Amino acid sequence: NAKEQNVEIRRYIPSMQMKAKERLKLENDLRRALERNEFYLVYQPQVQLETEEIVGMEALLRWEHPKRGIVSPVEFIPIAEESGLIVPIGDWVLRTACQQNKEWQLAGYRHICVSVNLSMRQFLQPNLAGKIDALLQEIGLDPCYVDLEITESMTLDKETAFDQLNRLKRLGVFISIDDFGTGYSSLHYLKNMPIDRLKIDRSFVSEVMEDSNNAAIVSTITSMAHHLKLKVTAEGVENKDQLHFLRQQHCHEAQGYLFSKPIKAAEFEAAFLKPLLG
C-alpha cells in the first residue's frame, strides 16, 4: 500500500534531501513564530576597558520552538534570510530592542547604546533608513543610542553600501562592522566607508594567547582602528589573559562570557543597570 511504499522510498532518500525536508519544516515553523510570540531577545553587555563601565549591549535573537526548545540563531537565521522572513523578523528585533532601551532610559538608568544585528536582506532594503527613522520617532529614542551591526560581506557592493550607510549615518545611528577580519574587505574602501566601529571576530580573540598569528591580527586591527579613528570592540572575551592583552593593545571595548553570557532583559537589568543607579 501507499504507506509502505512511502517508507520504502524514504529509505532511499539521500541525507541531503532529508535535510532539505527538515529545513522546509523549520521554515514553515519560522513563518508562524512571530505571530505565536516564540521570539525573545537576550542582551550581552559591552564593557569599556579603561573604566570597566558598561557602555552598551548587544541584542541577540532567541527562538523558543514549541517542540524543539531553543533553536540557535546560527541554525534559523540563514533560513530566515533565504526565505525573506528575516525582514519582518528583523523589524521585530529592531523594534523590541529599541523599545527596551527606551524603557530603561525612562526608568532612570544611565543611557547606553543597543547594538542590533542586521542581515543582508534587511540592509538591502532601499527604505531601511526611512523605516528606522519612523520607528525611532515613534518610540522617542535618540538615534545615538542605536548601533547597527553589519558584516563585511554587506559592503562588497560598494556603491549600494555607501549610499545606504550614508543614509543611516544621516539619521544619527552608530554603525559597526561585525566579525571583522573574517570577510573580504579592502582597506581602501574601509577608509572611505561611513562606519564607526570594528568588532574583532571571536575566532581571533579566543586564541589570542595560544596563537601568535591571532595576537598579531588582533593587535593590527586594533592599531588600524585607532589610526582610522574608529572604535574597536573585541568579541568573545572569555578570560583575564585575553582581557589583559586587549588592554595592552588599547582596545576600547570588550564583550564576552568573561563579563556575561547574553541574558534576558530582566536579568540584564538586575545585573548591569540597577547597580549603576545612585
> Which residues of this chain interact with ligand C2E, rule CB under 6 A?
44, 60-61, 72-74, 77, 90, 93, 117, 119, 178-179, 202, 235-238, 256-257, 262
DSSP for 91-129, written as a single string:
HHHHHHHHHHHHHHHHTTPPP-EEEEE--HHHHT-TTHH
Look-up of cell digits 562588497: 156
CB of 93 to ligand C2E, least distance (A): 4
CB of 73 to ligand C2E, least distance (A): 3
By C-beta, is 143 or 236 nearer to ligand C2E? 236
Residue 162 grid coordinates: 555607501
CB of 68 to Ca ion, least distance (A): 22
* Span 125-154, contacts to Ca ion by CB under 5 A: 149
CB of 236 to Ca ion, least distance (A): 8
E-strand stretches of 5-140: 39-48, 54-65, 69-71, 113-117
Contact 85, 30 (CB under 8 A): yes
- The Cα 251–Cα 50 span in angstroms is 9
With contacts defined by CB under 5 A, how many residues of the chain interact with Ca ion?
5
- The Cα 256–Cα 262 span in angstroms is 9
- The Cα 85–Cα 27 span in angstroms is 9
Residue 4 has a CB neighbour count (10 Å cut-off) of 8
Residue of the chain from 44, 117, 222, 233 that contacts Ca ion (CB under 5 A): 117
* Span 217-246, contacts to Ca ion by CB under 5 A: 235
For residue 70, give Cα distances in angstroms to 29, 33, 60.
13, 12, 13
By C-beta, is 177 or 193 nearer to ligand C2E? 177
Residue of the chain from 133, 147, 179, 253 that contacts Ca ion (CB under 5 A): 179
CB of 92 to ligand C2E, least distance (A): 9
By C-beta, is 73 or 194 nearer to ligand C2E? 73
Q: Which residues bind Ca ion (CB under 5 A)?
A: 117, 149, 178-179, 235
